Chain A
C-alpha cells in the first residue's frame, strides 16, 4: 500500500538501484564535467586535451545510445521489433534542422532569407509546414510532436489490428522506406538528398564554437541518463510489468481483461519521441541531416546494438551502441574493406551465440564465479 502513496518523483528516482546510481554519477561526472572541462580548458598539445573529433564522435554515439535505449523499451520489454526507429530519429533531426536552417538568416550562399535549396528550386516563400520554425521553442515542440504524432497514428492502426512480430517489423520498414523516398524528392521541401547542412548558430551562438560543442555534449549525456532513468522507472512500474506480460503472452493478458493496444501504443510513441529528441541532439553536433539517416540499413543496425548489449536490460543496448559504433569508427579507418564483414558476422554470431547479449554474458560469468 505504501508504494501507492509514495510521491511520483521518489518512485521515479528510486526505480534505479544503488549500482545504477553509482554508475550514472560516475558517467555524469565524466561526461558533464570532465569532458567539457578538458575540451574547453586545455588546448591542443596538452595531455588532457580532448579534441573536437572525439567530442563529436562520443556525442554522436551518445545520441545513438539514446536511440538504443528507446529500442530496448519497445523491443526488449514490449516485444515489438521496429525497423523504423531511424525514421523517428531523422524526423526529430529534420524538425530541429528546420530551426537551424532558419537561423542561418542571410548568411547563406544566395544571401536570401530562404534556405539555399529553396532558392535553387526558385521558391519564393516557405511552404506551410515551415511556419513558425524560426522559433526555438516551437521547433523543440516539433521535435517531440512530429515523430510522436506519426508513431501514434501508425501505431494505432497497426496495433489495433493486432499486427505483431515479423509482420510489424516488415510494415514498419515499409513505412520507413516510403518516407525515405518522400524525403529524397527535391520538392518535398526538405532539401532532397542533400538535406540540411551549413548550420551557423543556435539561439545566436556559433554552432561550431567549443562552448557549444561542450554544451551539446553534456545535453546528449543528460538526455541519455534521463532516458535510462525513465526507462527503469517505466519497466519497474505496474505498467512495465503488464508490458512484459504482453510481450510474453499477449493472448493471456487479453483474457485477463487488459487491452494491449494502449500499453503498446504508449511505449511505441514514447520510444519514437525519445528517438526524435536524440535526432535533434545529433544534427547540430554532426552538422548535417539528410535522408540517408532513414536508410533501411541504419534502422536494422539499431536493432543489433540492442541485441549485442542485451535486450531487456536498458543499460545493455546503450553499451551495445557504444561497442558497435566505436568499433565501426575504428574499423572503417583501419580496415575499411572488412567493416561490413565484421558487422555481418556480428549479426550472425550474436544472435546464434549470445542471445542475451553482453550483459547476459556478464551475468552468466558472475553467476558462475559466485557459485
Chain B
C-alpha cells in the first residue's frame, strides 16, 4: 500500500477514519523484534547523536497492540517533553509516521522526502520502498491532540504558549496523568499570565486526584477562575455523592460562590455592553428625528425609510466596490458614509420642498402625509431592488471580537458602531451649537417670527434643517446595514423605537435623546436576559408611559411658558 503521505490530512477526516483501522496486525513477537532490532539499526548508521535518545520500547508502543498501549506511549512521550518526543508526536499527528521493515518493526519519521529513524533521529537511506502509514484512530487522536497542545506550552513563543494554555483551559483541563508536565511547565514559565492559566489547568486536573489535600488545593485554586465551564465541575464537587471529603466540599462551596460572582459580573458587563450597543443604534436612528421632530415639530413617519435609504446607499457602494475595486473592498463602508449622507439629504430636500413646507404647524397632518411618502419610498425601493433582503458582507476589520473576560466577548462591529454614534453625535452638536447654521436653526425653533424679523431666511433654514435630519438618518442606515437586514421594510421596524426615544428624551435638545437611547437600550437588554425580547419591549413601553405620567414633555423638556 502506498500512501501519498505528503498530503496532510485535514482534521475533519478523523471522523471518517473511525471505521477504517489501518494498523497492521502486530503480535507480542513483533514488538520483541522491534525492541531487538532498533538498537541494531541504530548501530548500523553510526552517526553522532547529540540529543537524548528515546526509549525504543516506548516508541515501539506507538504501533503497539490496542488503544491502551498507544495512548500510554503518547502520554509517556508527552511527559518526557523533549524535542525528540515532540517531533515524533507531531509526525504521528500529521500522518508522517511510517511503518517499514519486513515485519513492521521499523518506525520511520518522514520529513519531506527524507526518512528518519523515529527512535534515534538518524536519516535512513534509501527510503524503504514498502511503507505503511501509521494511522491513529479517533480515540488515540483525542489523546494525541491534548498531548500536542500540552507540548505547545514549551514553545519559545509566548503567544503560542498563552493560546495553548487557554485552549486547554477551555476544553476542561487534561487527564490526571499530565499533572507532572504541568509542574514542569510551571517551573520554567516566567510569564505571570500564562502561569495563572496553568495553575487553573493544574487545579482542574487536581480535581481528579485521589488525594483529598490535592483536591482541596485544586478546589481553592479554581475559585480564582472566571470560566463558566468550571461552575459545573465545582457544583459536582459540592455533592457528597461525588466528593467524600467534607473539607473539600465546603471549599468547593466557597469557590463556587466566588466563581459565580465573577460570572455574574461578566454577564452584567455583557448585558450592559449590548445595551449600550442597542442604545447607540437607537441614537443613530433617532438623532435625525430629534432634529426634524424635536426641533421642527414634524412627525416624520418616513424617517425609517430615510434610514433604509442610507442602508441601500451602503448596499450600492458595497456592490460597486465588489465589482470594480475588489482590492479595496474592506473600505467600502468608509466610502458609503458620504454617499448615504447625501442621498438621504437629497430625499429630505425633495420631501421638504414639495410637501412638508405646506404643513408647518399641523403636526397630525404631517404624520399622515409623511406616512404616505414612506409608502411611496418603500414601493420605489421594492420596484428598483426587489422585495427581498439584500446581502451585505461586513468588512474584515469589522468582524471578530475582543475577549475582555473569559465569558465576555465584545464584537468589533458593535464597538465601531458605538464609536460611530459618538462621532455623529459630536458632529451634530458642533453643527447646532458652534456654527452659524446651527444658530439659525435654533433661532427658528425658538421663535420663527422673530428670527424672520432679524433676517434669518426661515424657509431656507427649514429645508436645510430637514435635510440635515434626513442625512443623519442616512448615516444611521450605514450603521444598521452592518447589524441588521437590508430590505425595503427595514425602516418600519425602527419608527416606533425612534419615536419612543425622542418622546422619552423630550423634544428640543440632544442630551435627552442620548440619555433616552442609552436608557432604553440598557433596560431592554437587562430585562431581556430574564424575560425575553417581547416582554422587554412591553416593560420598556410601560416604563415610558409611567415616565410620561410624571414628565409629560419627556425627561429633558425645555422649560417654557407656553400653554398650548
Max chain B Cβ within 10 angstroms of own Cβ: one of A81, A157, A166, A350 = A166
**A351 is an interface residue with CB less than 8 A from chain B:** yes
Contact A251 B548 (CB under 8 A): no
Residue from A171, A304, A350 in contact with B545 in the complex, judged by beta carbons closer than 8 Å: A171
Residue of A nearest to B299 (CB): A166
The answer to whether A351 and B503 touch (CB under 8 A), given A161-B549, A181-B534, is no
In the bound complex, how far is the Cα of B181 from the Cα of A331, in angstroms?
A: 78
Residue from A250, A300, A341, A344 in contact with B564 in the complex, judged by beta carbons closer than 8 Å: A250
**B368 is an interface residue with CB less than 8 A from chain A:** yes
Contact A177 B496 (CB under 8 A): yes
Q: Which residues of B contact A184 (CB under 8 A)?
A: 534
The answer to whether A341 and B379 touch (CB under 8 A), given A173-B499, A174-B500, A251-B564, is yes
Max chain B Cβ within 10 angstroms of own Cβ: one of A167, A337, A340, A351 = A351
Which chain B residues in 480-519 approach chain A with CB under 8 Å? 492, 495-496, 499-500, 503
Max chain B Cβ within 10 angstroms of own Cβ: one of A185, A303, A348 = A348
In the bound complex, how far is the Cα of B402 from the Cα of A344, in angstroms?
A: 46
Contact A174 B541 (CB under 8 A): yes
In the bound complex, how far is the Cα of B534 from the Cα of A263, in angstroms?
A: 33
Q: What is the predominant secondary structure among interface residues of chain B facing chain A?
A: helix
Contact B368 A351 (CB under 8 A): yes
Contact B364 A296 (CB under 8 A): no
The answer to whether A170 and B499 touch (CB under 8 A), given A348-B369, A352-B359, is yes
Max chain B Cβ within 10 angstroms of own Cβ: one of A174, A345, A350 = A174
Contact B379 A340 (CB under 8 A): yes
Proximity string of chain A (324-365) to chain B, C-beta cutoff 8 Å, 1 when within and 0 when not: 000000000000010011011111101110010000000000
A354 CB → nearest B CB, Å: 11
The answer to whether A296 and B548 touch (CB under 8 A), given A81-B364, A170-B503, A182-B534, is no
Contact B499 A174 (CB under 8 A): yes
B363 CB → nearest A CB, Å: 5
Contact A171 B364 (CB under 8 A): no
Contact A343 B372 (CB under 8 A): yes
Contact B548 A171 (CB under 8 A): yes
Interface size on A, residues (CB 8 A): 44
Contact A157 B545 (CB under 8 A): yes
**A165 is an interface residue with CB less than 8 A from chain B:** yes
Residue from A162, A167, A251, A343 in contact with B375 in the complex, judged by beta carbons closer than 8 Å: A343
**A216 is an interface residue with CB less than 8 A from chain B:** no
Proximity string of chain A (290-304) to chain B, C-beta cutoff 8 Å, 1 when within and 0 when not: 000000110010011
Residue from B359, B382, B552 in contact with A161 in the complex, judged by beta carbons closer than 8 Å: B552
Contact B538 A178 (CB under 8 A): yes
Contact A341 B549 (CB under 8 A): no
**A160 is an interface residue with CB less than 8 A from chain B:** yes
**B37 is an interface residue with CB less than 8 A from chain A:** no
Contact B375 A163 (CB under 8 A): no
**A41 is an interface residue with CB less than 8 A from chain B:** no
**B420 is an interface residue with CB less than 8 A from chain A:** no
B490 CB → nearest A CB, Å: 14
In the bound complex, how far is the Cα of B548 from the Cα of A154, in angstroms?
A: 13
In the bound complex, how far is the Cα of B371 from the Cα of A140, in angstroms?
A: 35
Contact A296 B375 (CB under 8 A): no
Contact A348 B564 (CB under 8 A): no
In the bound complex, how far is the Cα of B500 from the Cα of A303, in angstroms?
A: 21
Contact A174 B544 (CB under 8 A): yes
The answer to whether A81 and B369 touch (CB under 8 A), given A296-B492, A351-B359, is no
Contact A169 B299 (CB under 8 A): yes
Which chain B residues in 510-564 approach chain A with CB under 8 Å? 533-534, 537-538, 541, 544-546, 548-550, 552, 563-564
10 contacts between A and B (CB under 8 A): A161-B549, A166-B364, A174-B541, A175-B541, A181-B534, A337-B383, A344-B372, A344-B373, A351-B369, A352-B369
Q: Which residues of A contact B (CB under 8 A)?
A: 81, 154, 157-158, 160-163, 165-167, 169-171, 173-175, 177-178, 181-182, 184-185, 250-251, 296-297, 300, 303-304, 307, 337, 340-341, 343-348, 350-352, 355
19 additional contacts (CB under 8 A) given A170-B503, A340-B375, A340-B378: A161-B550, A165-B364, A166-B364, A167-B552, A169-B367, A170-B299, A170-B496, A170-B500, A174-B496, A182-B534, A182-B538, A296-B495, A303-B368, A304-B368, A304-B372, A344-B374, A346-B372, A347-B368, A348-B376
